[in-house]
Structure 1
Amino acid sequence: MDLGYGFFLTRFSLREDYETILKKGPWFIGEYFLSIRPWEPDFRPTMASISSIAVWIRLNELPIEYYNAEALHQIDKSIGNVLRVDMHTTSKARGRFARLCVQVNMNKPLVTAILIRKFEQLVCYKGIQKLCFGCRRMGHKREHCPYIIRHDLPQRTAEKNVEGELVE
């Protein structure tokens, strides 16, 4: 059942299937990661808080010699758990960029670059356009978050008009 905001409700006939889905994984449909969690009473998609997500990253111009387990382990330590490696990356079929799916902790700032041996590698995130890193909810970006109190907005001051009345 589509609940909106990218959330779906699934019911299982067998308890074993339910437990397998929750404990194993990661789960993908095509290239889309499925974040699975048990049902919560009074769940509302607009109020759901997300603690971690899986996102595809690109490592543009990563030298081909780093398309290996050692470099991926360094990425794993720096960004987050590597869930999947794109087949073009594992087969070294594409040299313009390496592509990985990583689990990102929403409680930490996004890593924009990592150190691989002696050089800095920029990290490009894909598919996080409608994810707020302020409130950790889907559907909007941090700069438009309705749940964050903004302290950087200019203060409006009241002034007196010609007749001496206060005007905002």
Structure 2
Amino acid sequence: MWGENEKFRDHYLSIQFWTPNFNPEEAVIDRIAAWVRLLGLAIEYYEETMLSKIGNVIGRTLKVDTNIADKIRGKFARLCIKLNLAEPLIGQYSINGVKYKVEYEGLHLIYFDCRKVGHDKASCPRNKTQVAREEVTRIAETYVAGDEEGQ
């Protein structure tokens, strides 16, 4: 069965408890479980306890990819992390002064300013509303200014 957050065709499916009067247009997602890759990590850190500690720096570790813990895949460690979308994503971390990069898998179309899924900055409904208000204000000001000139 499916967990709270699952990937389907490289996109996250978030399952939440039902709430009365739910409106998907206004729904805000503030937390999501996402897979992250720890790139270039030294092999001595490929141990489940250590990987969990690193994951807790990024968010809250939910799961360590067992293929990684068993050193089958190599190249990068992979963790499922509970992310708070209201906070900036961690792009790197350091161990003993050595910096390592974090890569997030499948965070398609999550616009972090409004924390809604399904659009980017250019198509954010909040931005379109603001642009529409500015356009109405500009038209109204032009109309009023034109009216005053005629008197």
Same-fold call, TM > 0.5? yes
The equivalences for 1:69-148 within 5 A come to: 69-148=48-127
Rounded to whole Å, the distance in 1 between the matches of 2:43 and 2:124 is 40
Q: Which runs of 5+ in 1 are unaligned?
A: 1-20, 151-155, 157-168
Answer yes or no: is the 8 Å Cα contact 2:51–2:64 preserved in 1: no
Q: 1:5-50, CA deviations, whole angstroms, 9 ceiling, x for partnerless residues?
A: xxxxxxxxxxxxxxxx9xxx65647897654432111212222101
- Aligned equivalents of 1:72 and 1:143: distance in 2? 36
Shift, 1:143, TM fit: 4.9
**2:32 is the alignment partner of 1:56:** no
CA 1:26–1:138: 2 relative to 1, 3 Å: closer
Count of residue pairs brought into register by the alignment: 132
- The 8 Å contact of residues 46 and 138 in structure 1, kept in 2 or not, is answered as no
- Using structure 2 for the length normalisation, give the TM-score: 0.71
Distance (whole Å) between structure 2 residues aligned to residue 86 and residue 42 of structure 1: 37
- Read off the aligned partner of 2:44 and give its amino acid letter: E
Higher RCO structure, 1 or 2 (CA under 8 Å, sep 6+): 2
d(CA) in 2 for partners of 1:71 and 1:147? 41
Sequence identity (%): 39
C-alpha contact 2:31 2:85 (8 A) present in aligned 1: yes
CA contact (8 A) 2:31 2:83 kept: yes
**1:153 counterpart residue number:** none
Q: Distance in 2 between matches of 1:73 and 1:144?
A: 36
> Whole-Å Cα distance in 2 between the matches of residues 74 and 145 of structure 1?
35
Deviation at 1:75? 1.6
TM-score after normalising by structure 1: 0.65
Structure 1 Cα separation of the partners of residues 5 and 119 of structure 2: 24
Contact 1:86 1:100 in 2 (8 A): yes
| C-alpha distance after superposition, 1:58-110 (max 9, x if no partner) | 11221111111342243233111111122221111122111111010011001
1:47 is paired with a residue whose SS is: coil
Identify, as 1 or 2, the structure richer in helix. Answer: 2
For 1:97-127, what per-residue CA distance to the aligned partner results, in whole angstroms no more than 9, with x for missing partners? Answer: 1111101001100110011232111000111
Counterpart position of 1:65: 44
